[in-house]
């Protein structure tokens, strides 16, 4: 049975149960669908302060930094010293120092065959050091923000290129991101496309009958079957562009907007909606678990996400699978997902174009089943099997 050591700073924990769930689902599928045995190392970054002096969010992370089996995969959570806001250039080395004693011992007891990084920075350079120390082949996956954000910082870009050239294989979540990786300086011949998966039992079209009344009761909001209902799913950060959706709402007088997610932009978005007299039409639902999210998506008439950059957003695929068309910008793999009018429309990143795109999607409604068919190629079982075959190729090369 081959064994992979997967390093991922993106991984759900008790403090952030929705953080990096797509990484967890992929690695769980790999273990379930193939003969690969997975060990995850999920480093937790904490400021070098006594626990009593840590800010609340770091105290919660410290309490979540424990090991255990989760959905069939064993997860180790060593801590590393994190310097908030200024420590980006130091994180790969700090992670490697914290992780190496653990992985040396794990490798001594039962050797690994491959080291894997699930995010390109800081995970990739840290995993490169670990792979070199253990004399093992390396794989690194790119997901979007790691290339677009960290690739714009000279110190991170240099470390990413060095790690990428060391790697026996690289993964990208879409073709568009693979091209961005090449432009960054990574070798195209080592890049394999690995599309995201989808829980098809959970994300599917639900009957609209009484869905909106159920959501209104669940969240204490006012929505009716007469109002066009829009959903925007993603972290509340500038890159996702929620403010543009709120601005577009001003020219859609009957529409209501459900904002799903949490993030640093929430206070500004609430103020923005208030200043435009839209507080009775913009609802902040926070971070939702995977039982409620399909109901929100199924109830919506469109999922609107004007991101400035993406890889291939899970929210796009989940919305389509629930029968909800997309209004999105031309970011990352958007054209690999919106490949026809049934899937929605790609628009310019401004409020006017977004409003026009929403009106067009509302005017040419396809059945939920027709829209959902656009997501048929995304499946966690396929994702796990494809990942296993890719790993097999690396260790047999």
pLDDT value of position 365: 85
203 within some domain: no
Indicate the pairing of strand 73-76 with strand 114-117. Answer: unpaired
Taking CA 274 as the corner, what is the angle to CA 273 and CA 279, rounded to the nearest 5 degrees? 75
Residues 158 and 120 in one domain: yes
Residues 191 and 251 in one domain: no
- Residue 124, φ and ψ in degrees, nearest 5: -60, -55
DSSP H/E element including 75 = strand 73-76
100 within some domain: yes
pLDDT value of position 37: 98
User: Do 303 and 293 contact (CB within 8 A), yes or no?
Assistant: no
Residues 46 and 112 in one domain: yes
Residues 171 and 237 in one domain: no
202 within some domain: no
217 within some domain: yes
Residues 366 and 383 in one domain: no
pLDDT value of position 290: 77
Residues 280 and 346 in one domain: yes
Q: Is 345 helix (H, G, I), strand (E, B) or coil?
A: strand
pLDDT value of position 291: 86
DSSP H/E element including 171 = strand 169-172
Domain count, the chain: 2
pLDDT value of position 207: 81
pLDDT value of position 224: 85
Residues 273 and 319 in one domain: yes
pLDDT value of position 359: 97
Distances from the Cα of 30 to the Cαs of 185, 348, 385, in angstroms? 29, 37, 6
Task: Give this prediction's pTM.
Answer: 0.91
What CATH number corresponds to the domain at position 235? Answer: 3.40.50.2000
Unique residue bearing structure tokens 């914290």: 98
112 within some domain: yes
User: Do 370 and 15 contact (CB within 8 A), yes or no?
Assistant: no
What letter would DSSP give residue 366? Answer: P
Residues 286 and 148 in one domain: no
What domain range is 340 assigned to?
211-375
Residues 334 and 224 in one domain: yes
205 within some domain: no
Measured from the Cβ of residue 335, the count of other Cβ atoms closer than 10 Å reads 14
Q: Is 351 helix (H, G, I), strand (E, B) or coil?
A: helix
pLDDT value of position 397: 85
218 within some domain: yes
204 within some domain: no
pLDDT value of position 86: 87
- Give per-10-residue mean pLDDT for the chain (397 aa): 97 92 96 98 95 91 95 97 91 97 98 98 98 98 94 96 97 96 95 95 87 90 89 96 97 95 95 95 91 94 96 96 97 95 97 98 93 95 97 95
Please, which residues have CB within 8 angstroms of residue 50's CB and are 6 or more apart in sequence?
A: none
Q: How far apart are CA 126 and CA 148, in angstroms?
A: 19
Q: Which candidate, 133, 141, 110, 107, places its Cα nearest to that of 27?
A: 141
Please, which residues have CB within 8 angstroms of residue 271's CB and are 6 or more apart in sequence?
A: none
Structure tokens at 11: 């991984």
Residues 92 and 184 in one domain: yes
Q: Is 76 helix (H, G, I), strand (E, B) or coil?
A: strand
Residues 17 and 166 in one domain: yes
Q: How far apart are CA 313 and CA 331, in angstroms?
A: 10
Residues 244 and 316 in one domain: yes
Unique residue bearing structure tokens 């870009």: 157
User: Do 297 and 303 contact (CB within 8 A), yes or no?
Assistant: yes
């Amino acid at each position: 049975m081959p064994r992979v050591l997967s390093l991922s700073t993106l991984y759900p924990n008790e403090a952030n149960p929705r953080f990096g769930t797509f990484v967890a689902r992929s690695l769980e599928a790999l273990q379930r669908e193939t003969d690969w045995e997975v060990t995850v190392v999920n480093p937790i970054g904490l400021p070098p302060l006594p626990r009593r002096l840590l800010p609340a969010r770091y105290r919660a992370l410290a309490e979540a930094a424990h090991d255990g089996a989760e959905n069939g995969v064993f997860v180790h959570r060593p801590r590393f010293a994190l310097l908030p806001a200024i420590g980006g250039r130091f994180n790969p080395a700090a992670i490697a120092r914290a992780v190496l004693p653990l992985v040396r011992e794990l490798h001594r007891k039962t050797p690994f065959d491959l080291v894997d990084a699930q995010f390109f920075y800081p995970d990739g350079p840290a995993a490169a050091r670990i792979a070199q120390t253990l004399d093992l082949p390396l794989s690194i996956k790119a997901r979007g923000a790691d290339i677009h954000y960290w690739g714009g910082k000279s110190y991170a870009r240099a470390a990413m290129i060095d790690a990428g050239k060391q790697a026996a294989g690289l993964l990208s979540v879409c073709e568009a991101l693979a091209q961005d990786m090449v432009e960054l300086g990574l070798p195209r011949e080592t890049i394999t496309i690995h599309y995201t998966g989808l829980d098809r039992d959970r994300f599917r079209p639900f009957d609209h009958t009484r869905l909106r009344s159920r959501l209104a009761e669940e969240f204490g909001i006012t929505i009716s079957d007469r109002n066009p209902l829009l959903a925007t799913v993603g972290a509340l950060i500038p890159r996702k562009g929620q403010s543009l959706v709120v601005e577009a709402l001003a020219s859609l007088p009957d529409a209501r907007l459900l904002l799903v997610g949490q993030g640093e932009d929430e206070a500004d978005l609430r103020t923005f909606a208030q200043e435009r007299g839209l507080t009775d039409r913009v609802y902040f639902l926070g971070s939702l678990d995977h039982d409620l999210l399909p109901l929100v998506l199924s109830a919506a008439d469109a999922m609107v996400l004007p991101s400035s950059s993406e890889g291939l957003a899970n929210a796009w695929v989940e919305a389509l699978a629930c029968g909800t068309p997309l209004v999105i910008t031309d970011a990352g793999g958007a054209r690999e997902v919106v490949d026809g009018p049934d899937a929605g429309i790609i628009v310019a990143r401004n409020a006017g174009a977004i409003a026009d795109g929403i009106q067009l999607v509302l005017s040419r409604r396809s059945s939920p089943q027709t829209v959902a068919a656009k997501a048929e190629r995304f499946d966690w079982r396929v994702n796990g099997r494809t990942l296993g075959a890719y790993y097999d190729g690396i260790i047999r090369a």
